Structure 1
Amino acid sequence: MKFKFLCSDLDGTMLSSKSDVSKYLIEQINKIKHETNIILVSARMPSAMYYIQEDLGIKEQPIICYNGALVLSGNTEIKSVFIPISVLNQIYLLCKGLNADLGLYYKNEWYVPRTSVRVEKEIKYTKSTPTFQDTDTTLSDWNERKIGAHKIMLMCTKESADELMPILNEKMGALLNLYRSNDTLIEIAPKEVSKLSAIQLLLKDHESLQDVIAFGDNYNDIDMLSNVGCGVAVANAREEVKAISSYITLENTQDGVAHYIAENLVN
């Protein structure tokens, strides 16, 4: 079947390394991109996705950032939903006294209170650079600018994440999407957005989710993979993701997305 859209998660899915797409993927994308819209769908900030678009030769395509909280087409903002400052202040209070730093994201702005192993990894893998300033200053500045966070990354220890996650679920679960991406990271996004809702926003009247093939590996990909015409999990995906997917391809480090394209989507 021909698909009008190929939507793919990046980290752990399309990226064969921690930060880059492979030459093999570039070759396969080049074979289909003139008849298929290639949409990158990620929790990343825009600047951490632009270089991948450039490598794939798809800079004219929209991108879905922050798991759907920000959707851009070139310089045009298609959708922007952020966590308001009042909620950010509540989260900040819950984190005080615990070993948890707030990474705060708005559009192409990224603020952290200090460097750490986690922050240095993010800089290396996403090729983006944060502004280092204390969280009180950032929240005060954002309050004056009347903006909020497209994404919060809580950088914790395992112990502080174990303590924070149930508290956040109890106090904020009705307002926010809370997603523990590993033992020490909690990602927070606006409740009303998802990768799936962002994809739906890009569809025209004569197009449907059946025209979409999507690739993913993690919990925040489940909604997307289970509702499109064809959902493909990489072999390194979480078991829950593989269980709802139509197909399972090779691991991301084995170029699973590229192999699936070559075997199933290239004429």
Structure 2
Amino acid sequence: MTYKVLCSDLDGTLLSTKSDVSEFTVQQIQRIRKTVQIILVSARMPSGMYYLQERLGIEHQPIICYNGALVLQNGTTVLSIPIPTSVLWAVHEMTSPLGIDLGIYVDDNWFVPKTSERVKKEIKYTKTQPTFRPTEATLTALQLTGAHKVMLMCSKESAALVMPHLQNQFGSDLHIYRSNDTLIEIAPKSVSKSSAIAHILKPTESLRDVIVFGDNYNDIEMIKDAGCGVAVANARAEVKVIADHITLANTDHGVAHFIQQHLLI
């Protein structure tokens, strides 16, 4: 196989642990990086991706953050599409009575109202630090800028309860999906990982020149659109059914194995 661009999701895909890539993955990325552009694509904030770029030796490549709402290259903003603050207030008003905390992300900033086990895990696994501030104060401060992503930190019960209401009220304007039983992620409707990849391709390139790797609902569109879409074995069933290939699980370094076996330089 020969492709000009390789794009990979991080959590559950390229990462073999919760926070890092394996030495085997580093070796395989470094083997092809001079002939294939390597772009990391994630729901993470920039500082949760920079250390992985450095480890892989691809610091000067673009990164696609927040599922495509923010694209950076060498610290410069290439694309930025925020959620309007008026929508953020409406989400907060719906979820606050259920005891749901909002993690609000804009540029390389992460705001949460208080610490929790979920926040501690995010700090540990993404090597990032939040700013602790009441949600109302954060939304007031972001009145003119909006936010690139919102993470709803719920219980299993509150997530199940609020999800259909979120879809009914905001589904036409926002991407809303459950990343696990207690987390709901929200992003602008007009962006996706696939649209962000298309935005940064060279004029001589198309999505047919791209190979992508993913595992979750937010990877489905890019796996459908790319020249080659590869799911890891631990991917959700909906992802595997539309993928061109299925590789080993992320904990078995599936992306690196696929690169080693199929990507020639």
The answer to whether the Cα contact below 8 Å between 1:104 and 1:111 also exists between their aligned partners in 2 is: yes
The answer to whether the Cα contact below 8 Å between 1:234 and 1:252 also exists between their aligned partners in 2 is: yes
The answer to whether the Cα contact below 8 Å between 2:211 and 2:226 also exists between their aligned partners in 1 is: yes
Mapping for residues 204-223 of structure 1, pairs under 5 Å? 204-223=202-221
Query: What corresponds to 1:20 in structure 2?
Result: 20
SS of residue in 2 equivalent to 1:90: helix
The answer to whether the Cα contact below 8 Å between 1:31 and 1:266 also exists between their aligned partners in 2 is: no
- Within 2, Cα distance between the matches of 1:218 and 1:235? 11
Query: What corresponds to 1:256 in structure 2?
Result: 254
Query: What corresponds to 1:59 in structure 2?
Result: 59
Query: What corresponds to 1:107 in structure 2?
Result: 107
Q: Over residues 202-247 of structure 1, what are the superposed CA-to-partner deviations in whole Å (9 max), with x where a residue is unaligned?
A: 1122111111000000011010001111000000000110000010
Mapping for residues 14-93 of structure 1, pairs under 5 Å? 14-93=14-93
Query: What corresponds to 1:203 in structure 2?
Result: 201
CA-CA distance at 1:155 after TM superposition: 0.1
Length-normalised TM-score, structure 1: 0.98
- Residue segments in structure 2 that go unaligned for 5+ positions in a row: none
Which of 156, 159, 181 is the matching residue for 1:158?
A: 156
Identity, % of aligned positions: 60
CA-CA distance at 1:108 after TM superposition: 0.6
- Residue segments in structure 1 that go unaligned for 5+ positions in a row: none
Backbone CA RMSD of aligned residues = 0.7
Length-normalised TM-score, structure 2: 0.99
The answer to whether the Cα contact below 8 Å between 1:7 and 1:41 also exists between their aligned partners in 2 is: yes
Q: Over residues 179-220 of structure 1, what are the superposed CA-to-partner deviations in whole Å (9 max), with x where a residue is unaligned?
A: 111111000000000000000011122111111000000011
- Within 2, Cα distance between the matches of 1:203 and 1:236? 29
Query: What corresponds to 1:125 in structure 2?
Result: 125
Mapping for residues 135-146 of structure 1, pairs under 5 Å? 135-143=135-143, 146=144
Q: Over residues 17-47 of structure 1, what are the superposed CA-to-partner deviations in whole Å (9 max), with x where a residue is unaligned?
A: 0000110000011110000000000000000
CA-CA distance at 1:97 after TM superposition: 1.3
| One-letter code aligned to 1:31 | R
SS of residue in 2 equivalent to 1:97: helix
SS of residue in 2 equivalent to 1:50: helix
Structure 1 ranges of 4+ moved more than 4 A:
none
- Within 2, Cα distance between the matches of 1:152 and 1:4? 32
The answer to whether the Cα contact below 8 Å between 2:2 and 2:264 also exists between their aligned partners in 1 is: no
Which of 160, 171, 174 is the matching residue for 2:172?
A: 174
Q: Over residues 54-106 of structure 1, what are the superposed CA-to-partner deviations in whole Å (9 max), with x where a residue is unaligned?
A: 00000010000000000011122110000111111101100121120000000
